[in-house]
Amino acid sequence: MSDKKDGIKLIVSIVERGQGKGLIKLFEKNGIGCHYQCSGHGTASSELLDVLGVGTTERDIILSLAADNNAENFLYKLKEEEGFYSHVPLKGLVFYMPLTGLNNILTTILLNQKQNENITGGNIMEGKPHSLILVVVNQGHSDDVMETARGAGARGGTIVRSRFAGDEENEQFYGISLQAEKEIIAIVASGDNRNTIMEMINKKHGLKTEAGAVICSLGIEKSTRVG
């Protein structure tokens, strides 16, 4: 495994359903060619969707690996270059985070794709640093968790269906009952709101409750909205 954590970034793109394919083509035209796609749905109210100009709650989620220079160039172009994605319909959020480890072979490939283009301009992130809050809850509790998160300052989130992948015969984990069907809620929050959101979710929906929430956060280096 490689520990060149400053050389590779994970780009997370959350866009309207059906827009993922066009976004991937845009990535590849800009030297970013390693992607994983999955589906989810947003939690924003219809009123907020109208304000944001987003027409549906269904989401394409694209996870892309790129050299740091490629990732920064791409987000800079999304935000600063007029017409950069005018031929591709996009509405959503794109951000990237550092990795702490990756396969040596893949690291070498991605770093060899590193572009030499220099960019100018300020920090793409507007305002204070943001974090990605991930909340894993038992199926059926996402609406309640998001209501709590909104009360603590969250604007919305994206939900992905999942399953507990541990030993099926192990129904207890240190006295905590496990449920196989899970939902993962991804919330992008400002540094001002992150701790409050996490604390309120843990207080109302933590491991000892029916929701059984597992909560963590990751730092986002840079982000931009598209569309």
Neighbour order of strands in the sheet with 34-42: 214-220, 130-138, 181-190, 158-163, 34-42, 58-67, 8-16, 92-98, 222-226
- Best CA proximity match to 70, nearest among 82, 62, 58, 78: 78
Q: So where are the chain's domains?
A: 8-125, 130-222
* 92 DSSP β-pair partners: 15, 226
**What token pair was written down for 104?**
């040596």
Greater model confidence, 57 or 225: 225
- Best CA proximity match to 54, nearest among 35, 38, 41: 41
pLDDT tens-place string over residues 66-96: 999 999 999 999 999 989 999 999 999 999 9
Strand positions, DSSP E, 99-175: 130-138, 158-163, 172-173
Q: How far apart, in whole angstroms, are the C-alpha atoms of residue 138 and residue 91?
A: 29
8-125 classified as CATH 3.30.70.120:
yes
Contact 205, 149 (CB under 8 A): no
* 60 DSSP β-pair partners: 15, 39
Q: Three-state DSSP class for 198?
A: helix
- Best CA proximity match to 193, nearest among 224, 157, 143, 140: 157
Q: How far apart, in whole angstroms, are the C-alpha atoms of residue 198 and residue 184?
A: 14
Question: Same CATH topology for 8-125 and 130-222?
Answer: yes
What's the pLDDT at 202? Answer: 94
Contact 161, 46 (CB under 8 A): no
Q: Which fold has domain 130-222?
A: Alpha-Beta Plaits (3.30.70)
Name the burial class of residue 154, with classes exposed (0-12), middle (13-18) and buried (19+) by CB atoms within 10 angstroms of its CB: buried
Angle at 86 (CA atoms; ends 80, 90), nearest 5 degrees: 90
What's the pLDDT at 147? Answer: 94
What's the pLDDT at 156? Answer: 87
Taking the model in full, what pTM does it have?
Answer: 0.76
Greater model confidence, 125 or 91: 91
User: Mean pLDDT, the chain, as a whole number?
Assistant: 81
What's the pLDDT at 195? Answer: 93
Q: How far apart, in whole angstroms, are the C-alpha atoms of residue 227 and residue 22?
A: 13
